[in-house]
């Protein structure tokens, strides 16, 4: 198998951070309508506006040639994209050559019962599954369209296929506060890591709702400490989470705190949308359109465009919930950027 050309120079942003992690949104569509992520009646992009799977592979390959070592596939819900396994098959060649360390995805779990065995066979070793509650009624309220039993079936399929599962839970004040220990114990019983995420001010659902939903993870951690012994861990997985070990269960708990304590100083990632726009920061509107260079049919212009975009990567976001107002709010939906 032909290997990629030797990387000439790594992608370094203006703040001397190496960009080694690319999140690729393959679709803005989803079969759920989580109320902190998108509106109930979404207008999705016309399919003709999306990059083809072949174009997504071309961009991913260019980033890998420039030093990206971790690729996470996101959406929307990535597994609702038609023929998505062909993209995973194409990308798997970089795992086989050693150019890529990890190929993984974030999913709502609804389609995992269909895809888990094939994903495992193609070299995916871990999946992140978004799950905010174990209560069927609350699950239906948060996701609007979702069915909890379908997600549980997906989790079963993923573990049966040998995939390591991590549960991502958005901390929602007034909605899942009372499930903190239930979720923690359930994950421990199934040998799954668990990461809590602060709700971010993105989309058009209104500032008052966001303030009502915001549950600082400092408070959540303090509640965990009333029942468990928490030991801070030095672990880093190429993402923004900070980890602790619960000594009583030996499980790892992560905290993603873009509001109460941002993680921008070590940011090593950028996000590619399904339309070919590159966002250098989740919480800023600066972006670069890679489509013209992508369709030039030569790798040079595309790599030049990527390097030019990385030179514009900002120091960090401006999310802030202090003073009882939302600062740094992004009008685009999380599903557009890809999480």
When pLDDT is cut at 50, 70 and 90, the band that residue 206 belongs to is: very low
Segment among 101-105, 131-135, 206-210 with least mean pLDDT: 206-210
> What value does the mean pLDDT of the chain take?
87
To the question of whether residue 274 is assigned a binding role by annotation, the answer is no
Domain count, the chain: 1
User: What does the block give as tokens for 40?
Assistant: 């109930």
To the question of whether residue 30 is assigned a binding role by annotation, the answer is yes
- At residue 260, the pLDDT reads 53
Nearest to 24 by CA among 291, 279, 241: 279
In a domain, 116, yes or no: yes
In a domain, 6, yes or no: no
Q: Report d(CA 207, CA 326) in Å as an integer.
A: 6
Residues contacting residue 257 through CB under 8 Å, at least 6 positions apart: 198, 216, 217, 218, 242, 263
For 66, 93, 247, 271, the CA distances from 126, given in Å and listed in that order, are 24, 17, 23, 19
**Residues 73 and 26: beta-carbon distance below 8 Å:** yes
To the question of whether residue 26 is assigned a binding role by annotation, the answer is no
Q: Report d(CA 39, CA 260) in Å as an integer.
A: 25
Taking residues 263-291, what's their average pLDDT? 85
To the question of whether residue 322 is assigned a binding role by annotation, the answer is no
Residue 17 has pLDDT above 60, yes or no: yes
Global pTM exceeds 0.85: yes
In a domain, 63, yes or no: yes
When pLDDT is cut at 50, 70 and 90, the band that residue 184 belongs to is: very high
To the question of whether residue 87 is assigned a binding role by annotation, the answer is no
Segment among 84-88, 206-210, 244-248 with least mean pLDDT: 206-210
To the question of whether residue 130 is assigned a binding role by annotation, the answer is yes
Taking residues 315-338, what's their average pLDDT? 51
CATH number at residue 93: 3.20.20.70
To the question of whether residue 37 is assigned a binding role by annotation, the answer is yes
Q: Report d(CA 293, CA 243) in Å as an integer.
A: 39
Q: Report d(CA 103, CA 68) in Å as an integer.
A: 11
To the question of whether residue 25 is assigned a binding role by annotation, the answer is no
Residue 62 has pLDDT above 90, yes or no: yes
In a domain, 8, yes or no: no
- At residue 97, the pLDDT reads 97
Taking residues 77-101, what's their average pLDDT? 97
Domain region containing 319: 21-337
Residue 323 has pLDDT above 90, yes or no: no
Residue 154 has pLDDT above 80, yes or no: yes
When pLDDT is cut at 50, 70 and 90, the band that residue 37 belongs to is: confident
Residue 186 has pLDDT above 60, yes or no: yes
To the question of whether residue 200 is assigned a binding role by annotation, the answer is yes
To the question of whether residue 267 is assigned a binding role by annotation, the answer is yes
Q: Report d(CA 234, CA 94) in Å as an integer.
A: 28
To the question of whether residue 271 is assigned a binding role by annotation, the answer is yes
In a domain, 110, yes or no: yes
- At residue 41, the pLDDT reads 83
- At residue 325, the pLDDT reads 47
In a domain, 12, yes or no: no
To the question of whether residue 36 is assigned a binding role by annotation, the answer is yes
In a domain, 2, yes or no: no
In a domain, 10, yes or no: no
- At residue 235, the pLDDT reads 80
């Amino acid at each position: 198998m032909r290997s990629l050309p030797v990387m000439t120079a790594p992608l370094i942003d203006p703040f001397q951070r190496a960009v080694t992690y690319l999140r690729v949104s393959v679709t803005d569509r989803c079969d759920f309508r989580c109320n902190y992520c998108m509106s109930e009646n979404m207008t999705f992009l016309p399919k003709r506006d999306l990059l083809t799977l072949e174009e997504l592979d071309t961009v991913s390959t260019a980033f890998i040639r420039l030093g990206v070592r971790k690729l996470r596939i996101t959406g929307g819900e990535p597994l609702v994209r038609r023929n998505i396994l062909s993209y995973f098959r194409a990308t798997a060649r970089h795992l086989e050559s050693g150019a890529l360390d990890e190929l993984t995805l974030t999913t709502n779990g609804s389609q995992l019962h269909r895809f888990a065995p094939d994903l495992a066979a193609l070299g995916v070793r871990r999946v992140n599954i978004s799950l905010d509650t174990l209560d069927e009624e609350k699950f239906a309220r948060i996701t609007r369209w979702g069915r909890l039993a379908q997600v549980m079936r997906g989790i079963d399929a993923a573990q049966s296929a040998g995939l390591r599962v991590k549960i991502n839970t958005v901390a929602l004040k007034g909605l899942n506060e009372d499930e903190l220990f239930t979720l923690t114990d359930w994950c421990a019983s199934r040998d799954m890591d668990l990461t809590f995420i602060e709700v971010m001010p993105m989309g058009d659902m209104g500032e008052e709702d966001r303030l009502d939903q915001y549950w600082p993870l400092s408070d959540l951690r303090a509640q965990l400490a009333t029942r468990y012994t928490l030991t801070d861990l030095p672990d880093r997985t190429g993402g923004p989470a900070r980890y602790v070990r619960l000594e009583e269960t030996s499980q790892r708990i992560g905290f993603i705190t873009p509001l109460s304590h941002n993680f921008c100083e070590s940011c090593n990632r950028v996000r590619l949308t399904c339309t070919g726009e590159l966002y250098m920061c989740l919480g800023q509107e600066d972006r670069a359109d890679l489509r013209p260079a992508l369709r030039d049919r030569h790798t040079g212009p595309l790599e030049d465009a990527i390097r030019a975009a990385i030179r514009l990567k900002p120091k960090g976001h401006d999310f802030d919930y202090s003073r009882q107002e939302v600062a740094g709010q992004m009008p685009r939906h999380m599903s557009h950027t890809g999480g």
